[in-house]
């Protein structure tokens, strides 16, 4: 997307280089930061990355959660706090007269909310975070549910102030636009869907349903992905094995959870290989992409990528929010483990339906989610 936005404009990028996220792709943190800066300079006239986070990821989550309580600030605000990052923001603001400032999440709003700026402020909402926390609280047990409700309340207050101050709020689905307008009584909301690099996510060979291989992709450090992976391993997999003993499944992504490790160790048909450097061969190996994500807002990039690769989709309706799929045409919806099992077994017995779904999914992505069309729409909004 930076490549599209950089056409005919001067882009300054200031970002946090999270230790855990950089190390997911690079063995050495410093080497990774240098490589990322070099990649961004292909599209940006100025790139400033600030190194952030050095604690063990689990310990960092616990520390941040307690600090959030002590400071009466949302978790994301505390997690992203950085004096060095604030200094870089202050420096680039002093050195430049920006026409537009794009704030890429509500958690980063804290670095600009006290500034008197003449630039047009654009606030991007990957999800409506307060609504997502409230929904997660409904599915959690005490005392976590109380903590999440408090977090949702704290974040909603910040969202309300930020949304009204921003010249424009960008969301990635009509559903999130409705949520934002309803929650915070704002009208300055535009929808820009998440996009797919269609040149990259293209099959090397046509889809052919020759196996019974299921796939789920997602980093297990994000709770909706953990919940979905646990659902597959503990609730769905026993039903599938009973219905089709020769079925296979892979859950691919950085991180791990006990349920996956135990199942992969005991069942050769179930794999949890971790992070994949190139996800395209992983998609091409799959007959069906299974996505039982039941929380989170926005549009799920993993779903868009799977559809771009023409992998037939069986998903929870929440996983497809913001994507104009049609049940029975470009997706099979399911909610319970029994529903997922039934849909998967039926599709595996209908290869002609799987082949049609594959081509219909790719066509839908080409028409609605290319980076070129989305980049042009964002440039229009910036003007």
Report the CATH fold assignment for 2-196+371-382: Rossmann fold (3.40.50)
Q: Report d(CA 296, CA 282) in Å as an integer.
A: 24
DSSP at 233:
I
Q: What is the dihedral of CA 78, 80, 81, 83, to 10 degrees?
A: 170
Of how many residues is the chain composed? 383
CA angle 129, 164, 322 (to 5 degrees): 40
Identify which has the larger pLDDT, 3 or 47: 47
DSSP at 312:
-
Residue 221 is predicted with a pLDDT of 84
pLDDT digits (tens, 9 = 90+) for 66-80: 899 999 999 999 999
The beta strands (E) that lie in the chain are given as 12-18, 46-52, 100-103, 120-125, 168-171, 189-191, 213-217, 248-252, 270-274, 288-291, 313-315, 332-333
Q: Which candidate, 134, 71, 114, 98, places its Cα nearest to that of 14? A: 98
pLDDT digits (tens, 9 = 90+) for 158-203: 999 999 999 999 998 888 999 999 999 999 999 998 889 999 999 9
Residue 373 is predicted with a pLDDT of 82
Q: Which candidate, 341, 339, 338, 337, places its Cα nearest to that of 228? A: 337
Residue 147, classified by CB atoms within 10 Å of its CB into exposed (0-12), middle (13-18) or buried (19+), is middle
Concatenated DSSP letters for 86-126? HHHHHHHHHH---SEEEE-SGGGGGGTTT----SEEEEEES
Residue 299 is predicted with a pLDDT of 63
pLDDT band at 58 (very low <50, low <70, confident <90, very high): low
- Residues whose CB falls within 8 Å of the CB of residue 365, separated by 6 or more in sequence, listed in order: 196, 198, 304, 307, 308
- Residues whose CB falls within 8 Å of the CB of residue 128, separated by 6 or more in sequence, listed in order: 159, 171, 176, 179, 180, 183, 297
Q: pLDDT averaged over the chain?
A: 93
Q: Quickly tell me which residue has 């005392």 as its tokens.
A: 143
For the cut 70, the answer to whether the pLDDT of residue 55 exceeds it is no
Residue 364 is predicted with a pLDDT of 96
Q: Which candidate, 23, 51, 27, 24, places its Cα nearest to that of 37? A: 51
- Residues whose CB falls within 8 Å of the CB of residue 163, separated by 6 or more in sequence, listed in order: 123, 169, 180, 184, 186, 188, 189
pLDDT band at 314 (very low <50, low <70, confident <90, very high): very high
Question: Average pLDDT, stretch 348-353?
Answer: 98
pLDDT digits (tens, 9 = 90+) for 91-115: 999 999 999 999 999 999 999 988 9
Residue 68 is predicted with a pLDDT of 92
Q: Find the DSSP H helices in 12-116.
A: 19-23, 29-40, 57-71, 75-80, 83-95
Residue 89 is predicted with a pLDDT of 97
Helices 57-71 and 144-165: crossing angle in degrees, nearest 10, is 70
Buried b or exposed e, range 304-340, using 16+ CB within 10 angstroms? bbbbbbbbbbbbbebbbbbbebeeeebbbbbeebebb
In the chain, where are the structural domains located?
A: 2-196+371-382, 213-368
Residue 339 is predicted with a pLDDT of 98
- Do 2-196+371-382 and 213-368 share a fold? yes
- Backbone angles phi and psi of 220, in degrees to 5: -85, 10
Looking at the chain, the whole-number percentage of residues with pLDDT higher than 70 is 97
List the CATH code of the domain at 213-368.
Answer: 3.40.50.2000
pLDDT band at 54 (very low <50, low <70, confident <90, very high): low
Looking at the chain, the whole-number percentage of residues with pLDDT higher than 90 is 76
CA end-to-end span of the chain, whole Å? 17
For the cut 90, the answer to whether the pLDDT of residue 24 exceeds it is no
Identify which has the larger pLDDT, 255 or 211: 211
Q: Report d(CA 8, CA 12) in Å as an integer.
A: 13
């Amino acid at each position: 997307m930076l490549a599209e936005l950089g056409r005919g404009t001067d882009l300054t990028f200031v970002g946090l280089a999270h230790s855990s996220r950089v190390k997911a792709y690079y063995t050495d943190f410093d080497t990774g930061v240098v490589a990322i800066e070099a990649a961004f300079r292909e599209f940006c006239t100025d790139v400033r990355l600030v190194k952030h986070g050095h604690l063990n990821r689990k310990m960092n989550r616990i520390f941040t959660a307690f600090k959030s309580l002590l400071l009466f600030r949302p978790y994301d605000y505390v997690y992203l706090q950085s004096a060095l990052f604030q200094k870089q923001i202050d420096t680039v603001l002093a050195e430049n007269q920006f026409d537009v400032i794009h704030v890429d999440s509500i958690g980063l709003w804290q670095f600009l909310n006290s500034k008197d700026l003449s630039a047009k402020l654009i606030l991007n909402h990957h999800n409506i975070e307060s609504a997502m926390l409230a929904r997660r609280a409904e599915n959690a047990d005490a005392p976590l549910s109380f903590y999440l409700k408090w977090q949702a309340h704290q974040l909603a207050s910040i969202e309300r102030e930020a949304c009204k101050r921003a010249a424009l709020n960008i969301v990635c689905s009509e559903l999130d636009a409705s949520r934002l307008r309803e929650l915070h009584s704002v009208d300055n909301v535009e929808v820009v869907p998440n996009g797919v690099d269609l040149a990259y996510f293209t099959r090397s060979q046509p889809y052919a349903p020759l196996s019974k291989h299921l796939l789920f992709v997602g980093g297990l450090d994000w709770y909706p992905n953990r919940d979905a992976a646990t659902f597959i391993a503990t609730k769905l997999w026993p039903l599938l094995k009973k219905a089709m003993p020769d079925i296979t499944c892979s859950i691919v992504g950085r991180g791990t959870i006990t349920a996956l490790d135990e199942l992969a160790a005991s069942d050769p048909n179930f794999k949890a290989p971790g992070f994949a450097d190139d996800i395209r061969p992983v998609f091409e190996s799959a007959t069906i992409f299974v996505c039982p994500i039941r929380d989170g807002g926005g549009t799920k990039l993993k779903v868009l990528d799977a559809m771009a690769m023409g992998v037939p989709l069986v998903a929870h309706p929440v996983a497809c929010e913001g994507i104009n799929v049609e049940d029975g045409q470009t997706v099979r919806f399911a909610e319970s483990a029994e529903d997922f099992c039934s849909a998967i077994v039926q599709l595996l017995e209908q290869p002609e339906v799987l082949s049609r779904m594959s081509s219909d999914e790719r066509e839908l992505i080409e028409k609605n989610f290319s980076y070129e069309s989305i980049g042009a729409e964002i440039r229009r909004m910036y003007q």
